[in-house]
Amino acid sequence: MVHLRIVAPESCAGAVLHVLEDDPTVLNVVVLSGVSRKPTGDLITCDVPREAASLLIADLRKTRVVEEGSIAVEKVDVLLSEAADAAERAAPGEPQDAVVWEEVEELTSESTELTAGFLSFMVLATILASIGLLLDSPILIVGAMVLGPEFGPIAALCVALVRREGPLALQSFRALAVGFPTGILAAMLMVLIFKWTGISPASFTEADHDFANLVSSPDAYTVVIAFCAGIAGILSLTTSKSGALTGVLISVTTIPAAAGAAVGAAYADWDGFTGSLLQLGLNLVFLCIAGVLTLTVQRLVFRRRTFARDMR
């Protein structure tokens, strides 16, 4: 269930109420007349099943409430009501699979900024993964994948491509284009320091390190893993079945490959360096392809639902 808090000026408050009262999936409509001061108008709240939220918001946009007032969308974890159960039955689809497009757009737009925090996590994740490759330690590599923040810009890029929003796509691409080279450079410098101080061995070969050999040797599995990770990442973002570890799934295809490039450059192992960069590039491309395809299918389903409702 989703809770909407609507600030509606007098010019559109009547139209907003008309939309809410005519929609069988809307319940708990509450109107506080004249309580809003900036802008001057009414405060209207209601609840709607998740699977009908974007359909309702699309109708509310036609009243110009977004231009003249505002709509706040909040998630309701528990709502005990027989009326809510009836609204769920009236709404098309399943709540677990429903997409609230406004929520997706807001989440992804916040993940595209090239900030000091984003770069810091990229650097830390890549350094940690590089140490994991040197030690052949899966624990450290998993820890690096947990730290990796690249899921946000990748998801935002997919959303921007589907919606054909050039500025958002460029902003997302910029975060990735700066973040990965920064992480690789920092990790390479750290590995060089390890070499010069004797912390790490004077020589390094992928053949003696299973994980390093894996990330520097892209193959057909690379494409399949990246494609599956891209679908899972977008589904976690767009549905209510999201999990905190989805970013780890995305990072399994990216952060270790960036670390492999850093280690390869530090040891002048150019085969390992180019192999890791190829691994990283293939993963990013197929993550985006899978994400765009998944979002496209979800948007087609949403438009079909909108068309079917309008034809009633």
Section 279-289 average pLDDT: 93
Please state which of the four CATH numbers 1.25.40, 3.40.50, 3.30.70, 2.60.40 is assigned to the domain occupying 2-98.
3.30.70
pTM of the predicted protein model: 0.80
pLDDT tops 80 at residue 97: no
pLDDT at residue 191, rounded to an integer: 95
> Tens of pLDDT along 203-254?
877 666 777 777 888 888 888 988 988 888 888 877 755 544 555 566 677 9
Query: How sure is the predictor about 263, in pLDDT bands with cuts at 50, 70 and 90?
Result: very high
Neighbouring CB atoms inside 10 A of 128's CB total: 23
Distance in angstroms (rounded) separating the CA atoms of residues 131 and 220: 27
pLDDT at residue 120, rounded to an integer: 95
> Tens of pLDDT along 6-19?
999 999 999 999 99
Query: How sure is the predictor about 70, in pLDDT bands with cuts at 50, 70 and 90?
Result: very high
Domain regions of the chain by residue span: 2-98, 105-301
Section 103-110 average pLDDT: 74
Q: End-to-end CA distance of the chain, in Å?
A: 24
Section 37-61 average pLDDT: 91
Distance of CA 140 to the CA centre of its chain: 24
Bridge partner list, 5 = 45, 72
